[in-house]
Structure 1
């Protein structure tokens, strides 16, 4: 019975597409109504900070309410809030403080839904008879594909409809996602662990992660890499396109090639991942996803070579999230799944704002090439644990036990 599993994929594709539409439509909308770059930056903060809060403190509620109910309620709330923005703007008017409040609550409400959909994946994969390796790769592939399609689609729709009407389309995608989950995904009975209250549930999730050395190591790696990736994407690539390539289109090409490579890598891992050595695959892919694409910028390689290396790095990155998903689903008890995943998500997002500040500050002090080399060195260092830390050998034992 694969229909619930396929429905989950479709709902997540709609939700991710809606999020991408928001990410591009909101800055345009704020600029349109305020004309201020500073106020646009404040609005951007109002869309990212609540993700960290919600992932950290809302995950225990996901375990309590259930994955299916949380996903539906989250998407309903997100859709209605997004629809309220253009509705108020086109009718009674929308003040800037009210817009900030709506943006904050919208992203506060959206994050538990994403956590819930990710947490219900192994249950629906089991019902569908899909191996977890292929299920996690399919989930990540749909996520990456929807994000890759959503960005250019948002650009076209902004020109065609304008940012205010695009937000109407955005709201509809979330309502459709809620409908898909409500109608197409059955209730799955899950073993419920003991609960001592909301605060105790949060503490239990943190304690579990702290005591699981393998997952703690993996989370630390992702925190640092997300910090670096944010600095590269939001600052260093922009400076490279302006000062080195001399063409702003270079930024779009590099971003698009990286995303396309990641989608291809996810598809390949979903097909052959269960036959690959997990620890070695993860270590090599983690190393290749970060180091080459930044190093090639630092050494001043010709732009076609930069594009080719970026595509290879994107391809390697395609295996990282599926392997992390397998790691999470194998080691986290089902009753604690959402709160532990939520804690890891909050940690992963927490370092991202620092990445842009760090990249901008280093570039001002040392120059673009030196900053790129410094980032490359950190990428190398953070890629070491799977090769040298004994705790990562548990991945080899896990794979041997399944064969």
Structure 2
């Protein structure tokens, strides 16, 4: 049975929150993650795993710690594992400068600190070499390198430089490198799945970082979020300046190329877990959620049918003319809606109304909803997502007594023909030519 991985940015996403959610769900054991730093050459680095409570919800928190007094200062601070709150426009930069160096054989990897510089940073090329030369399993190495490549491309685009010249600040710290590798391990252990995710929550306000004060999302995060659905900060989070999703967390999600959805997909839940951030958001849980489901096919359905996801938009109209409602339906179809239908009903105060329903694609529904709110008399609408099974289709030209006509043929994926139907517009044209006769 096929699996579905549902990733829910309840309070955003960060690298260690991602891995912590997998541990909490029982998809990965803490002992499996504990050996990863040594495989990178970070022999003095350990993974601390503990249970915490966030807004009365039990969750798992991960942090990267060092047992070496000579480890860089940046190692003792979590840069990327939680929502970052700023009552003023502050950020989590450190006042030293570092270059990442790949590990020598049998030695402990470390960041070389240059105390004369203003900021800690690590070159992308050094991180890539470190991962490439590590003892990590090949799929984990490739996934981690892909994530850092996404980060480097975003930094390069944000600051107008070649990818090879990119130097990371917080993302280049050892704990963030380990966070990425832990996430890569979790993803690769799970294997091929259908991946769905809720829109990402960037946060709000301003943060001050190594490159100055920036609005949330800051430059690299904003580049990573291009062409990606985002969600507003929940009203229950009252802080004016808060970065909910870190660049590392966003890059991890982007590496999965998930299908963005509004809710948990249909299926049977097998595992679920919550990864906690460090900051306390009061009554709102600072967590990232992971759910693994078995996909449940509809009754009688098999792999022989095509499937997709569609959104149904519905509004009730009791104060508009029939002519204008018909025009609304025509326009929605002309704009690419999959289907539009009108249903008469009895509304409040005994008034007759028309229920207007629109079926739209998962990527195009919001444009139809916006157009409907602007051009109809309704003050609101409802929408929900449906999983859909459908026949494969092909079109054939066939001879008829009145000339050729197009038939729509419905097939299974194996090519079995289940049904066929003549195209209505062409049928109508032939009927009109024959004065209404059907044959």
TM-score class, shorter: under 0.3
Q: What TM-score, normalized by structure 2, do the two folds share? A: 0.23
Which structure dedicates a bigger proportion of its chain to helix?
1
Larger radius of gyration: 2
More strand by share: 2
With a CA cutoff of 8 Å and minimum separation of 6, indicate the structure with the bigger relative contact order. Answer: 1
